[in-house]
Amino acid sequence: MTEYVSEPGGRVPVAAESDLVVVGGGPAGIAAALAGARNGLSVTLLERYPYLGGLASGGMVLVLDDMCNGPEIAVRGICADLIGRMEKMGLAVTPPEQDRRSDPAMWRKWSRWGVFDFTSQLKPQPIVYAAAFDPDGFKRASNDMVAEAGIRLRLHSWFSRTIVEDGQVRGVIVESKEGRQAIRGRIVVDATGDLDVAASAGAPHVEGAYIVTTVFRLGGVNIEEAERFEYAEPEAFKEIDRQAKKLIGGSWDKWWLKTPLPGIVWCNCPHMANYDGLKVADLTRADFEGRKRIAALVDYLHAKMPGFEKCYVVDVAPQLGIRQTRLLEGLYVVTKEDVAERRHFADSVARGRDYYTPYRSLLPQKVQGLIVAGRHYSATSSAQRMSREIPPCMAMGEAAGEAAALALESSVALDRVDVGKLQ
């Protein structure tokens, strides 16, 4: 039986009011806020961590991919702008157009950057337009873009609950060192990744689960020697690589990839199943388990892996890599078949590699004044696993911010926006 304590009632002070309130400063939230501000809206962007970028920076998912269909780049806009800014800082790397093909030489040159089509059946898999980047570069570029747009940014602000009046979202309550505060908005974007705002508002949703990851970076790596070993001694490499993957307990085929910083690699592992990203106990256990596996791997690399003899842990991502928790049940639920068969919708407003996101899948049922952007959009669990990469989530965010501007400009509800204009 659950015990309860009573809290004192009282009024919550209004700390900010704006046309658009975006909850979540990850890639989708950044894009939504920028799109709204660039279309003349006053925007407040809320983020619980002391930085922008969400799982891209704080979760250290350090490749922006799933954004081109062969030679066609399917995601541009704000995502492309951000990549360009990081490249100018020297903190992002993209393969030039002439290198984007299926070719053994190109594979050897680029595959350890992670910039290949991971869905392709070709061997070797084609090098494509994608970006390997530095997490602090993502934070800095995001800061610059948000500041230039005149967005009111509030870091260190944890979402608490949604303010709903007669089925209409009017803002949110946040918790911070200043206590509970209200942030009012005419339209709210849920870019939390976990559907926190929509769930609090009573929007229908389901819960899913997938692997979680404690991403980390290693320094002191002799990358040239590691790559020489991989290609010059393939049988020995395969055995050591197999043992490394066994120790880490789950990873993609390439458990380490290059970064723009010399001697530093990132490891999108260990992959750990059977953890609920909505439960504090599970999140805590996952953090502990991940660090144990990382330590075991490093000990093994010191003893066995050429190029990694002197490696050390630079950092473990401050955010646990959560891939799926709550999923919206919106006006349309995207299915696995929609993604796999590349179905185009009359109201498509965002793209990934070769799949489309309908506007209806960003809109909740039973709640007005709220739009969703990010990996928690309206899709089945299997469909979401195929369509949750960062660039298409940024495209969703850009569409959400544009939709908010059109709704307020035309004085219509979000589900009455002229989709043709939005497209």
Please, are residues 375 and 205 in contact by the beta-carbon 8 Å criterion?
no
> What is the mean pLDDT, run by run of 10 residues, along the chain of 423 residues?
80 96 98 98 98 98 95 96 98 98 97 95 96 98 98 98 97 97 98 98 96 97 98 98 96 96 97 96 98 98 98 98 98 98 97 96 98 98 96 98 98 98 97
Tokens found for residue 40? 């003349």
Report the pLDDT value the prediction gives residue 261, as an integer from 0 to 100: 98
Rounded to the nearest 10°, the torsion over CA 140, 141, 147, 153 is -60
- Cβ atoms < 10 Å from Cβ of 333: 18
Report the pLDDT value the prediction gives residue 255, as an integer from 0 to 100: 97
Alpha-carbon span 410 to 19, nearest angstrom? 14
Alpha-carbon span 181 to 413, nearest angstrom? 26
Helix axes 223-232, 234-248, angle to 10 degrees: 120
Number of Cα atoms under 13 Å in the Cβ half of residue 299: 8
Report the pLDDT value the prediction gives residue 70, as an integer from 0 to 100: 87
Report the pLDDT value the prediction gives residue 8, as an integer from 0 to 100: 76
Report the pLDDT value the prediction gives residue 179, as an integer from 0 to 100: 95
Alpha-carbon span 29 to 155, nearest angstrom? 13
Instruction: Please list, in sequence order, all residues whose beta carbon lies within 8 angstroms of the beta carbon of residue 276, skipping any fewer than 6 positions away.
Output: 209, 282, 325
Alpha-carbon span 246 to 379, nearest angstrom? 32
pTM of the model: 0.97
DSSP string, 313-341: EEEE-SS-EE--SEEE-BSS-B-HHHHHT
Tokens found for residue 215? 């991403």
Alpha-carbon span 46 to 174, nearest angstrom? 9
Report the pLDDT value the prediction gives residue 138, as an integer from 0 to 100: 98
Alpha-carbon span 311 to 328, nearest angstrom? 42
